[in-house]
Amino acid sequence: MRTFGIVNTSETKYFQKLGAKIKHLREEKGIDQKAFAFDCEIGRTQLYMIENGKTNPRLLTLMKIAKGLDLSVDELLRIYQ
């Protein structure tokens, strides 16, 4: 798997967990990926890359996703081991 902007294994694992969390929360709300990306004003491909842990999203992007999920950025970024 090629990851963009992710340097080491612990970072890779974190972004995979973050992406899985975002996907799970989005699916819990019953929103498909395309509609959610549109609502968050981000690209669907970008959302796909984030949900699959293949990219290091920018803070502004995380703010948009958190808002779309009715969470704070802090709540979104909190990943329990």
CATH code (residue 18) = 1.10.260.40
Specify if 50 maps to a domain.
Answer: yes
pLDDT at res. 5: 56
Specify if 2 maps to a domain.
Answer: no
Specify if 26 maps to a domain.
Answer: yes
Instruction: Count up the domains in the chain and report the number.
Output: 1
Burial of 2 (0-12, 13-18, 19+ CB in 10 A): exposed
Please check the confidence at residue 3 and state whether its pLDDT lies above 60.
no
With the CA atoms of 30, 33, 38 and 39 taken in that order, what torsion angle do they form, in degrees rounded to the nearest 10?
A: 30
pLDDT at res. 80: 73
Nearest to 75 by CA among 41, 40, 33, 25: 25
pLDDT at res. 8: 74
pLDDT at res. 2: 52
Specify if 62 maps to a domain.
Answer: yes
